[in-house]
Chain A
Amino acid sequence: MILLSSDKEAGKFTFRFEQAEREWFRHILSLYPVQQSALKKASEVAGSDELLEKALADGRKKLRGDAELFLKAGKLEIDPKFNEYWDLTLTAVEIEELLQILNNVRVGLWIQLGKPEPSIEELLPTKPSEEQVRSHMIMHVCAAWQGAFMGAVDPELPGATQE
């Protein structure tokens, strides 16, 4: 995925996905939400935790609807060299939503994998299962795209993927 163009004043950013990336994008959005509850109880204050959980559930429901819209949006381009591109224009608000969606999938898969520590032994087990391999690949793609989206809205962000 690359940043094709950006109009910061209008708050619009156009990204180009190749065909395989579009399939990845479709698959990742279809997984959302993976993380369904907080890592830890948010509050010991009576009533707060329940309220927060409900607000989060409502927020995830809204993002689920937005994920469907993202998949339907965009323009398919056919390159003369028989390459198929998918151009997707997003607003800054939509990029924030995508960041939340990508991170939910990433963190949720990490939890499902048993919250591995960032050591090579846990990240690369000797005999990984198919599920572990698939989950790690998706987590890696999500992290890469998070960097690309953050870099698009703030090119000076250290470490963010540049155009």
Chain B
Amino acid sequence: MPDVAEPVVLPTPDISEKEKSREALEPGYLVICWDDPINTMIYVTHVFQKVFGWTREVAEKRMMEVHNNGKSVLARESLEKAEYYVHQLQMYCLHATMEKADA
């Protein structure tokens, strides 16, 4: 019997994995900084400038939002970027968290 090439069967794309990858890149996560009685305002301003590259004026404005409102949403980013920012802020010992943004 002559050799017959085996048909090539492509793997069925895993839709759930593709959706997860797309989701990870979408700016669907909020980076939040919470107020606390220990971090000084000048220090928080400095950290915002360093982590986000903001000017002093912008950093002060966002710092005052944290101070007056108890918290501020600093950024809306992809999962990976949000994790990066939270990590950076927590290395400076700021009270930072992330959560999924509402659609």
**Does A48 reach chain B (CB closer than 8 Å)?**
yes
- Selected from B29, B83, B90, the residue in CB contact (under 8 A) with A51 is B83
Interface size on B, residues (CB 8 A): 28
Are A100 and B98 interface neighbours, CB within 8 A?
A: no
Q: How far is the CB of A19 from chain B (nearest CB, A)?
A: 27
Those of A1-60 within 8 Å (CB) of chain B: 35, 38-45, 48, 51-52, 55-56, 59
User: A159 CA to B42 CA in the complex, in Å?
Assistant: 7
Q: How far is the CB of A158 from chain B (nearest CB, A)?
A: 7
Are A45 and B100 interface neighbours, CB within 8 A?
A: yes
**Does A96 reach chain B (CB closer than 8 Å)?**
yes
Those of A137-163 within 8 Å (CB) of chain B: 143, 146-147, 150, 154, 156-160
Are A100 and B99 interface neighbours, CB within 8 A?
A: no
**Does A88 reach chain B (CB closer than 8 Å)?**
no
Chain A residues in 8 Å Cβ range of B39: 103, 107
Are B90 and A56 interface neighbours, CB within 8 A?
A: yes
Are A42 and B86 interface neighbours, CB within 8 A?
A: yes
Interface size on A, residues (CB 8 A): 37
Are B98 and A59 interface neighbours, CB within 8 A?
A: no
Those of B26-69 within 8 Å (CB) of chain A: 29, 34, 36-43, 45-46, 50, 56
User: A161 CA to B46 CA in the complex, in Å?
Assistant: 13
| Given A42-B86, A43-B98; A143-B93 close (CB under 8 Å) | no
Q: How far is the CB of A48 from chain B (nearest CB, A)?
A: 6
Residues of B within 8 A of A (CB): 29, 34, 36-43, 45-46, 50, 56, 79, 83, 86-87, 90-93, 95-100
Additional pairs, 5, CB under 8 Å, beyond known A42-B86, A56-B91, A99-B92: A38-B95, A43-B83, A99-B43, A107-B39, A157-B46
